[in-house]
Amino acid sequence: MNTAGGEHPGSGQRGAGASSARQGGLEVVLAAVARGDDAAFGVLYAQAAPAVLGIARRVLRDPAQSEEVMQEVLLELWRTAARFDPSTGSAEAWIMTVAHRRAVDRVRSEQRAADRELRAATASVAYDEVSDAALTSLEHQRVRRCLEGLTDLQRESITLAYYGGYSYREVAQLLGLAIGTVKTRMRDGLIRLRDCLGVE
């Protein structure tokens, strides 16, 4: 296809993660971790582990597996900290990309069909459970408010994919939508979410 003619709604309004110094902290901590500074690793753990565990738990559901994934991710961060490139985005985005990917890989490689059907039944309530999380931070409320600003299909597509760990094909099946529709709902919903959250 001709990519040059593609539409990119909402793009260009924001510099994405280019301004990686946002709040500064985690990039500096990662740099120290890359030098083998174990105290810095403690700080990285303190700042990243709750979100890593949170997303693993949302995707995997199983508490023990989620903890395993959380530890694997933290060790992966320890191991690869020197490879983090601030020009590709923020440290938070890098960390959460590693975390989410690993959780999803675990689901896809280990979850059997029966489990997936079970998850299908529970994943639809995933969004509401956001409020049941142990934390009710301002950030949390802001994300919730921004999710509420999406259309139902955008929100369901995103929560099933990101929190549920489903592929867009599976999401299409679950929602009874065409694959192309789901792809655009995911993209447009995330763009709206990005703008609502004021991501830099």
Partner 1 sequence: MRARTRGTGLHTLVGAYVMDAITDADRASFERHLLSCEQCREDARGLREATARLAAAAALPPRPELLEQTMQAAARVRQLPPVVPGRSHQIPAGQRWRHVLGTAWRPAGAGARLWLARATLAVVVALAVTATVFGLHMSSMQGKLSAVEQRDAMIATVLGARDATTLTAKVTTGGTATVVMSHRARALVFTANGLTRLPTAQAYELWLMSPVGDTPVGMLPPARKGMSGPMVVSRLGPGEQLAMTVEPASGSRHPTSAPVVMVVLGG
**Beta carbon nearer to partner 1, 99 or 119:** 99
Candidates 57, 61, 119, 155: give the one binding partner 1 (CB under 8 A): 57
Q: Does 36 bind partner 1 (CB under 8 A)?
A: yes
DSSP 8-state symbol, 133: S
Of 88, 89, 73, the residue nearest 41 (C-alpha): 73
Amino acid at 69: V
Q: How far apart are the C-alpha atoms of 129 and 119, rounded to whole Å?
A: 14
Site string (134-163) toward partner 1, x via CB under 8 A? xx-xxxx--xx-------------x--xxx
Candidates 60, 65, 74, 123: give the one binding partner 1 (CB under 8 A): 74
Q: Does 120 bind partner 1 (CB under 8 A)?
A: no
Q: Does 61 bind partner 1 (CB under 8 A)?
A: no
Q: Does 65 bind partner 1 (CB under 8 A)?
A: no
Site string (79-108) toward partner 1, x via CB under 8 A? xxxxx----xxx-xx-xxx-xxx--x----
**Smallest gap from residue 157 Cβ to partner 1 (A):** 8
Tell me if 143 sits within 8 A of 131, measured CB to CB.
no
Tell me if 179 sits within 8 A of 168, measured CB to CB.
yes
Q: How far apart are the C-alpha atoms of 154 and 190, rounded to whole Å?
A: 8
Candidates 78, 111, 116, 149: give the one binding partner 1 (CB under 8 A): 78
Tell me if 96 sits within 8 A of 51, measured CB to CB.
yes
Q: Does 111 bind partner 1 (CB under 8 A)?
A: no
**Smallest gap from residue 111 Cβ to partner 1 (A):** 14
Sign of CA dihedral 170, 71, 55, 98: negative
Would you mind telling me the total number of residues written for the chain in this entry?
A: 200
Candidates 32, 120, 174, 177: give the one binding partner 1 (CB under 8 A): 32
